[in-house]
């Protein structure tokens, strides 16, 4: 049976979370609006499409630029201020939706596909 296989390690997640906690403190909380993108993007980019024999045939890749992240994050930052932080909860789901819609499957061994 074909499917998906994620090879994102627990240690990678731990280091990523620690890094973003430090960045969030250093940026006085503004890093918290960019953090969801990088926390969600990391496991997606380490996910492979496998065939029925268990061989990797493709890899999920999210090509989402920092400029796109900042524009989306600024909108949600304003919404979070207006709603006293309640919108930040919904923001995480909006981030996942954006990243999954931007994900493409590239063949194993290929470099990143050019943006269309």
pLDDT digits (tens, 9 = 90+) for 18-68: 999 999 999 998 898 899 999 999 999 999 999 999 899 999 999 888 889
Provide the domain limits for residue 27.
Answer: 3-107
- Give domain status of residue 112, yes or no: no
pLDDT band at 1 (very low <50, low <70, confident <90, very high): low
Structural domain count, the chain: 1
Cβ atoms of 61 and 45 within 8 Å: the answer is yes
> What span, in angstroms and rounded, lies between the C-alpha atoms of 103 and 44?
8
What pLDDT score was predicted for residue 116? Answer: 47
Q: Is 38 exposed, middle or buried (0-12, 13-18, 19+ CB in 10 A)?
A: middle
- Give domain status of residue 39, yes or no: yes
Beta bridge partners of 62: 103
- Give domain status of residue 38, yes or no: yes
Beta strands in 1-116, from DSSP E residues, in sequence order = 3-6, 47-50, 56-62, 103-107
- Give domain status of residue 64, yes or no: yes
pTM tops 0.95, yes or no: no
């Amino acid at each position: 049976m074909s499917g998906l296989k994620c090879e994102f390690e627990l240690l990678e997640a731990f280091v990523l979370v620690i890094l973003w906690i430090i960045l969030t403190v250093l940026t006085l909380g503004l890093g918290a609006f960019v953090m969801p993108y990088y926390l969600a993007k990391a496991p997606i980019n380490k996910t492979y499409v496998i065939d029925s024999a268990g061989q990797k045939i493709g890899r999920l890749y999210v090509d989402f630029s920092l400029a796109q992240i900042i524009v989306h994050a600024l909108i949600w930052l304003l919404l979070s201020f207006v709603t006293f932080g309640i919108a930040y909860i919904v923001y995480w789901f909006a981030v996942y939706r954006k990243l999954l819609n931007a994900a493409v499957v590239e063949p194993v061994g290929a470099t990143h596909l050019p943006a269309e």
